A = this chain, B = another copy of it.
Amino acid sequence: MQQAVDEYISQFKAGYFPPLSQLARLTEEVGELAREINHNYGDKQKKHDELPGSVQEELGDVMIVLMIMANSLDIDLTETFEQNMAKFNQRDHYRFERKDGKTHD
């Protein structure tokens, strides 16, 4: 996926934005996701003339902007995923009540 994103960005002269501008881009997309989630699962009703949105599309946009940020910072998300999941599995093994009832090793 990161490769496809890089091919998309590489078409354009502007290339990758600097990190703070990318962060603003991510904040913008998370805001759009928030609006759709609030419309679909929260208390904020859509305006009568507002186009139907899509949580799936907004969630996808957040992910792609995240990949653009990772690409620009030379971060391999697959490698990062494995490291972070190892962290969660180790650090948070007893963080929440477990189905198997265990509370420690």
Q: Which residues of A contact B (CB under 8 A)?
A: 1, 4-5, 8, 10-14, 17-21, 23-35, 37-38, 40-45, 47, 55-57, 59-64, 66, 69-70, 73, 75, 77-78, 80-81, 83-85, 87-89, 95-100
7 of the cross-chain contacts (CB-CB < 8 Å) are A19-B40, A23-B27, A28-B35, A56-B73, A59-B70, A62-B66, A64-B84
How many angstroms from the CA of A66 to the CA of B99 in the assembled complex? Answer: 23
A64-B88, A75-B55 known; A19+B31 contact, CB < 8 A: no
Q: Is the interface of A mostly helix, strand, loop or mixed?
A: helix
Q: Judge whether A29 and B28 touch: CB under 8 Å.
A: no
Question: From residue A69, how far is it (CB to closest CB) to chain B in Å?
Answer: 7
Across-interface contacts of A100 in B (CB, < 8 A): 11
Q: Which residue on chain B has the smallest CB distance to residue A77? A: B63
Which of B13, B21, B87 lies in contact with A97, CB distance below 8 A? Answer: B13
How many angstroms from the CA of A34 to the CA of B21 in the assembled complex? Answer: 9
How many angstroms from the CA of A35 to the CA of B89 in the assembled complex? Answer: 21
